[in-house]
C-alpha cells in the first residue's frame, strides 16, 4: 500500500518565502522541475498586466477569440469563434474559472500566436530570475516540455504583487458575473484561511494538485507554493498548515522591492508591434456554407474583410497544438480536433491542398521547422513538399511554413492529425477555385 504514496510524492514540492525579506522559511524539493498546470496562467496575466501598464491594452480592450482558442478543452467559458471578451473579463475568468479559452485568447492577442507568446513568457521568466521554467502555452494544458519549480513560482507570485499593485486585487476575486452567468472561483482558501488574498490553483493528471497562495496579515507577507498534491483537499490542508506554521516567524519589516532588478526586465509586450486599442485585430466575420469531409470544415462563401485587418488577423489565427483535456473539472475531450481551414492565395490552386504549421520571423526559420516536422512526423508528412510564403504585418516581415502538394481534404486532415499528435501547429488550407 506504500507504492501509490511514493508515486504521488515524486510529484511533490513546496516552498514558503517571506515576501518582505525574500527569506526562504520552508523548502522541500523547491528547485525540482514540475508541471505547473494552470499556475502557468500567472505568467499569462503578468504579461497582460505589463501590456496594460505600458498603455497598450486597457481594461475594456476587446480580445478576439479565435477558433483555436474557442476549441481549447475545459475548463473554459465556452466562446464561439469570432466572439470577443474584454481584457478585464478575461483576467477575472482566468483567475476564477481558470478558463483555458480566455488564457489562449490573451496569448494570441499579445503574441500573435500562442507559440510566440510562450517564447515571450519564457523570456520574461528568465528576466525575473526563474531559472527552472519553460513555457509552451498560455493555459497550462499538458505539454511535456512545460516545466517550472516551486521556487520559480513563488518568485512569480512576489513579482505580481510588487510590479502590479494596481492589478493585484484581482487575485482575491472569488466569483464574478459574465453575460448574466455567475462564475465561481476554484481557490477554496480565500475567505477561509486568514490573510490569504490569492493567487492560483492548478491541476493536471501529471502535475497533481498545485496551489500558490499569497498571505498578508498585519504587515507580514508570505508567498507559499504546494505542488503535486494527491487531491484538492489534501493540497489545501497542506497549504493551510504551512501558513499556520510559518506566518508567526515572518517579518513585518518591508525589505523594499525584492525584484528591483526589473530594470533588466524592460517592458516588451510582444515580439511584434501590439496594435493600438482602436486598431486591434479582430476575427473576420463571414457567412459560411459548410461542407464536412473527413472532419475538414471548408468555408465556401466568404465575406470580404477590411484590408487593414487581414495581416494581423492571419497571425492571430496561427494555431498551436491542442492538448487533450486533463483538468480536474474537464469534460471528456475528443481524441482529434476538427481541422480548421482557410482560403489559400490564388497561386496555390496549382499545388492543391496545403497545411500550415506556423509563421516565422525568417525564411530560414520557416524552412527549419518544416524540415523538423517532416523528420519527426514522417508518414503522411514526410513525403510532402515544403513551401514558405512571405507576408508583411506592418513594417515586419514573416514567413508562413507550409506543406503543399496534398491531393485531397482527407489527406490534408490526415497530415494535420499526425502533426498535432507530435505537438506541431497545423491547419488545412483549401485550394481556391
- Positions annotated as catalytic residues are 38, 41, 98
Asked if the peptide bond before residue 199 counts as cis, ω within 30 degrees of 0, the response is yes
Residues paired with 27 in a beta bridge: 15
Is 192 annotated to bind ligand? Answer: no
Among 191, 251, 257, which Cα is nearest to 221's?
251
Distance CA(328)–CA(330), nearest Å, equals: 6
Distance CA 32, CA 38 (A): 18
- For residue 309, count CB atoms less than 10 angstroms from its CB and return exposed for 0-12, middle for 13-18, buried for 19 or more: middle
Q: Classify 77 as helix, strand or coil.
A: coil
Q: Grid cell 498546470 — which residue?
A: 37
Report strand pairing: 296-299 vs 339-343. parallel
Is residue 225 within 8 Å of 243, Cβ to Cβ? no
Residue 33 neighbours by CB under 8 Å, 6+ apart:
132, 147, 148, 149
Whether the bond into 75 is cis, omega within 30 of 0: yes
DSSP 345-383: PGGGGGGBEEEEEEEESSHHHHHHHHHHHHHHH-HHHHT
50 - beta bridge partners?
A: none
Provide φ and ψ at 238, rounded to 5°. -65, -40
**What is the Cα gyration radius of the chain?**
22
Known binding site: residues?
A: 200
Known binding site for substrate: residues?
A: 200
Amino acid at each position: 500500500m506504500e507504492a501509490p504514496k511514493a508515486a504521488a510524492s515524486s510529484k511533490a514540492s513546496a516552498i514558503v518565502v517571506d515576501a518582505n525579506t525574500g527569506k526562504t522559511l520552508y523548502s522541500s524539493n523547491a528547485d525540482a522541475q514540475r508541471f505547473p498546470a494552470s499556475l502557468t496562467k500567472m505568467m499569462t496575466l503578468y504579461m497582460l498586466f505589463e501590456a496594460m501598464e505600458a498603455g497598450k491594452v486597457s481594461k475594456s480592450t476587446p480580445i478576439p477569440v479565435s477558433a483555436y482558442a474557442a476549441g481549447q478543452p475545459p475548463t473554459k467559458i465556452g466562446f464561439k469563434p469570432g466572439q470577443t471578451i474584454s481584457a478585464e473579463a478575461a483576467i477575472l475568468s482566468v483567475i476564477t474559472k481558470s478558463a483555458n479559452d480566455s488564457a489562449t485568447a490573451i496569448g494570441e492577442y499579445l503574441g500573435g500566436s500562442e507559440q510566440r507568446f510562450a517564447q515571450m513568457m519564457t523570456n520574461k521568466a528568465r528576466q525575473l530570475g526563474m531559472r527552472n521554467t519553460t513555457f509552451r502555452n498560455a493555459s497550462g494544458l499538458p505539454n511535456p516540455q512545460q516545466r517550472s519549480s516551486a521556487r520559480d513560482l513563488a518568485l512569480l507570485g512576489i513579482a505580481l504583487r510588487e510590479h502590479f499593485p494596481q492589478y493585484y486585487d484581482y487575485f482575491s476575486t472569488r466569483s464574478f458575473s459574465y453575460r448574466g452567468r455567475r462564475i465561481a472561483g476554484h481557490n477554496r482558501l480565500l475567505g477561509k484561511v486568514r490573510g490569504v488574498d490569492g493567487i492560483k490553483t492548478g491541476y493536471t493528471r501529471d502535475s497533481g494538485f498545485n496551489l500558490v497562495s499569497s498571505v498578508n496579515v498585519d504587515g507580514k507577507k508570505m508567498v507559499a507554493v504546494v505542488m503535486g498534491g494527491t487531491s484538492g483537499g489534501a493540497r489545501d490542508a497542506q497549504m493551510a498548515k504551512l501558513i499556520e506554521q510559518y506566518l508567526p516567524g515572518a517579518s513585518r519589516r518591508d525589505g523594499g522591492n525584492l525584484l528591483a532588478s526589473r530594470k533588466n526586465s524592460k517592458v516588451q509586450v510582444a515580439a511584434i508591434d501590439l496594435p493600438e486599442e482602436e486598431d486591434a485585430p479582430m476575427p473576420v466575420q463571414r457567412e459560411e456554407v459548410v461542407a464536412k469531409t473527413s472532419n475538414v470544415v471548408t468555408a465556401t462563401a466568404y465575406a470580404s474583410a477590411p484590408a487593414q485587418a487581414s495581416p494581423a488577423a492571419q497571425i492571430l489565427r496561427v494555431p498551436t497544438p491542442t492538448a487533450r483535456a486533463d483538468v480536474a473539472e474537464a469534460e471528456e475531450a475528443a481524441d482529434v480536433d476538427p481541422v480548421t481551414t482557410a482560403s489559400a492565395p490564388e497561386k496555390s490552386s496549382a499545388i492543391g491542398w496545403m497545411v500550415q504549421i506556423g509563421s516565422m520571423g525568417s525564411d530560414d526559420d520557416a524552412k527549419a521547422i518544416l524540415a523538423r516536422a517532416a523528420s519527426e512526423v514522417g508518414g503522411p508528412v514526410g513525403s510532402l513538399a515544403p513551401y514558405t510564403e512571405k507576408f508583411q504585418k506592418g513594417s515586419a516581415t514573416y514567413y508562413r511554413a507550409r506543406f503543399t502538394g496534398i491531393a485531397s481534404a482527407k489527406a490534408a486532415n490526415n497530415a494535420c492529425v499526425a502533426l498535432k499528435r507530435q505537438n506541431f501547429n497545423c491547419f488545412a488550407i483549401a485550394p481556391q477555385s
